Structure 1
Amino acid sequence: MGRRPEFSLTQLLYFVTIAETGNISEAAERLHASQSAVSAAIQRLERQLANQLLVRHHAKGVSLTPVGKLLINDARAILRQAHALNHYSSRLQGESAGCLDIASYYSITSFLMPRTLSRVADSHPRLTVNVHDVHSPIDLLLNGTCELAVTYSTTSSEKTRFTELIRPKLYALIAESHPLADAKMISLADLASDPILMADIPSSCYYTYVESAFRKAEIPMPQIISATGMETMRALAGAGVGFVLTHHRPQSLDTPDGSRTALVEITDDLPHLSIGVQTLRDSKPTRRARDFVAALRTTAQQIYVPITTG
């Protein structure tokens, strides 16, 4: 790629306007700029291009030099392209169309995304959403792959802004045969002697959250049994191997192998954990991103039971 041009679109606009009016003062009036500012900008442009573009006629305005005549059409074309790009950008900001790439934390995706994508397809048929189901969604936001990331509040960066969608309750998923399966509410202390089933990602934000929950409850972290995914953990919980801490309420308590589980609410005063959206702190969300987040919020409010205070 060649070196970056030193001149600006404003200088080209001044040049074209002067060429059309044949007079610097008249061009300045049309541009709502001072005559001195317009003259200085053109002089800089001539220096940067190493060519004289205008011939100044005392008290008779200006005319184009041969080089100026060669460049005027190219200058007009560049300004038209810039205007078209600006118009296209404005159109994308004003309607939900095109393609939106989002990153989603792996344990959230299967619960939130199906209904959200269906809702978006119904209300914004010209919008295509690509979901990147990953363990580190914020990385895809920071490197520019995705416009937003759906995460827990424990995932953060100085360069991002977190918008809370919901603060859900925490549950224990246990076997239907577990002695506490019929209880409406239990504490972490009630499960202290049972192994805890965790996804095999020890550095994940959710792993950190679970550790902080037991630490705040002043209970030692239980024995950890690692599994590769939520379906495996549900099956192991149904078989009585251990319990799963989750904010999600599965539509079915049946497991893939035919056993059944129970979902019991945890009553401890737990560390704050929200599900929400991360965006770049210094960027303004597009219309398509805002519409997607609105659909996501509606889905979250349907799926999760929020913590109530008071």
Structure 2
Amino acid sequence: MAEPPAPPRFSLRQLAYFVAIAEAGTLSEAAARLRISQPAVSLALNDLERALKVQLCVRRKAHGITLTPSGSSLLVRARRLLREAEDLEAEATGTGTLTGVLSLGCYVTLAPTVLPPLLQGFAALHPEVTVEFAEDTQDVLQRRLLRGELDLAVIYDMDVMPEMARTVLFSVRPHVLLPADHPSAGLPEVSLRDLAEEPMVLLDTAPSAHHTLSLFHRFGIVPRVRHRPTGYETARALIGRGMGYGILVQRPANDRTHEGLQVVVKEIAEPIRAEPVLLAWPRHMSLNHRAREFLRFCESRGGPG
């Protein structure tokens, strides 16, 4: 008969304290977040390092802690173990109620129109789940997914890392955004070639700028970029003031800028594809119960609204 596996020399509590330390950056801040004393946090870190026989972080007075390579590696696995342990506890209790925290990322320009209906709809089904969300660029969101900081992220199908698994939620076709008094504002569609000599407002938030410029390159057109805002609403505001046109993907329902100026959406005359919006997660990580339910919920909606 095989010998039973030896229990680990560390505890889940020690892992939880280590994750809190890594995320807080200092022992004192971690202690405050955990609502325990700083010596207790320090002792747990010492015991974990002793159990694993490796240094997990470097402590510097007045500069907080810095993870070692071993600490960075453990952080990803610790987050995963803690989420799996939370799932195990929920399934063992058999309450049938989904609880805990779901960490969701969303590409910054998608967030205003995509996140609210998703959060509201999911909360109606699972009111005991807390959804913590982060808005950022796609490169940052994907790095955070790989580090285990996020469970899932809503992103465009642009510059997606090969390490990502994904499912398509819906697709949106890029459009031209014009000020209301533009000569082409009354046309059903606008050619990129007709805009080539006009000033352009280029949303410079990765990967938006690369995607927009690639559309022009595909048809041998070089746009005249005048402004490179990194904020979606800033881009709309500049366009509303007649300072250029823009190529955007996300389509808010409101055709007014924050100043009340009207902007006009026009279809692009050239043949271009609709851009898929994805829900992504790392291939090598198993989705916890909350993430699986959120994925199922998103797939059942079949659209952005």
Unpaired segments of 5 or more residues in structure 1?
A: 1-7, 14-83, 304-310
**Does the 8 Å contact 1:116/1:299 carry over to 2?**
no
Aligned residue runs from structure 1 range 1-310, under 5 A: 10-11=4-5, 87-88=88-89, 90=91, 96-135=98-137, 136-201=140-205, 204-270=206-272, 273-297=275-299, 301-303=303-305
C-alpha distance 96-244 of structure 1, shift in aligned 2 (>3 A): farther
Paired-residue identity, %:
25
- Matching residue's letter, 1:147: D
CA RMSD after TM alignment: 2.7
C-alpha distance 145-220 of structure 1, shift in aligned 2 (>3 A): same
**Does the 8 Å contact 1:165/1:300 carry over to 2?**
yes
TM-score by length of 2: 0.66
- Matching residue's letter, 2:241: A
- Matching residue's letter, 1:243: Y
Show CA shifts across 1:77-103 (max 9, x none): xxxxxxx87842645997632101012
Show CA shifts across 1:115-158 (max 9, x none): 11111111110111111111221011011100112111113223
SS of residue paired to 1:131: strand
C-alpha distance 293-243 of structure 1, shift in aligned 2 (>3 A): farther
TM-score by length of 1: 0.65
Structure 1 Cα separation of the partners of residues 203 and 3 of structure 2 = 53
Structure 2 Cα separation of the partners of residues 95 and 189 of structure 1 = 56
C-alpha distance 268-282 of structure 1, shift in aligned 2 (>3 A): same
SS of residue paired to 1:167: strand
Show CA shifts across 1:20-51 (max 9, x none): xxxxxxxxxxxxxxxxxxxxxxxxxxxxxxxx
**Does the 8 Å contact 2:189/2:268 carry over to 1?**
yes
Structure 2 Cα separation of the partners of residues 284 and 143 of structure 1 = 14
Unpaired segments of 5 or more residues in structure 2?
A: 8-84
Structure 2 Cα separation of the partners of residues 295 and 111 of structure 1 = 17
Q: Tell me which structure has the larger Cα radius of gyration.
A: 1
**Does the 8 Å contact 1:192/1:219 carry over to 2?**
yes
Structure 2 Cα separation of the partners of residues 163 and 248 of structure 1 = 19
**Does the 8 Å contact 2:145/2:281 carry over to 1?**
yes
Structure 1 Cα separation of the partners of residues 116 and 122 of structure 2 = 10
**Does the 8 Å contact 2:107/2:154 carry over to 1?**
yes
- Matching residue's letter, 2:142: I
